[in-house]
Structures are given as structure tokens and as C-alpha cells.
Amino acid sequence: MSKAGQGDIRRLLIIGAMSRITPMGRRKITPGSWLARMLERKPKMLVAVALANKMARMIWAMLTKEEDYREPAQIAVA
């Protein structure tokens, strides 16, 4: 995520990612998942920015394809 874009959207994405990384949000992280592996070896803030970047790319893809969000388990079944 570059700092050249809209700062308010970038800030909101990082806040949303940090809420996933807090102790309350960590309970639902699947062991062995991308997020769990990142948290084992990287600082929390770096992982939050990486997660926010991933979320931004997913949002952009959904907007351009005019699709709704689908859970990863639903994608594997479909």
C-alpha cells in the first residue's frame, strides 16, 4: 500500500487489519494460515500493513468484477 493514495482509506484499512491482530481477534485465526505464519515471524504492525494491502486488493477485485465477498471455503467448493 503506497502512501501516495487516499490517507483516510489507508488508515481505515490498517485499523481494520489491526483489529484482526489484537488478542481478541487472534482467537479466530486458523493455525497454519497465512496470517498465523506471518504473525510468528514478523512484527504486528508490518503484518497489519500486509493484511491491509491484501484486503485492499480483494476489495478492488470485487469492485471491478462487481461480485460479492465469498468465504474461502465457498471458493474451494465452487
| pTM of the predicted protein model | 0.78
Residue 60 is predicted with a pLDDT of: 92
Per-domain residue ranges of the chain:
7-77
CB 47 within 8 A of CB 38: yes
pLDDT in the model for residue 23 = 81
Q: Say how many CA atoms lie within 13 Å of 3 toward its Cβ.
A: 0
Q: Match 476489495 to its residue by C-alpha cell.
A: 59
Query: What pLDDT score does 1 carry?
Result: 59
Chunk the chain into consecutive blocks of 10 residues (it has 78) and report each block's average pLDDT, rounded to whole numbers.
76 92 81 90 94 92 89 58
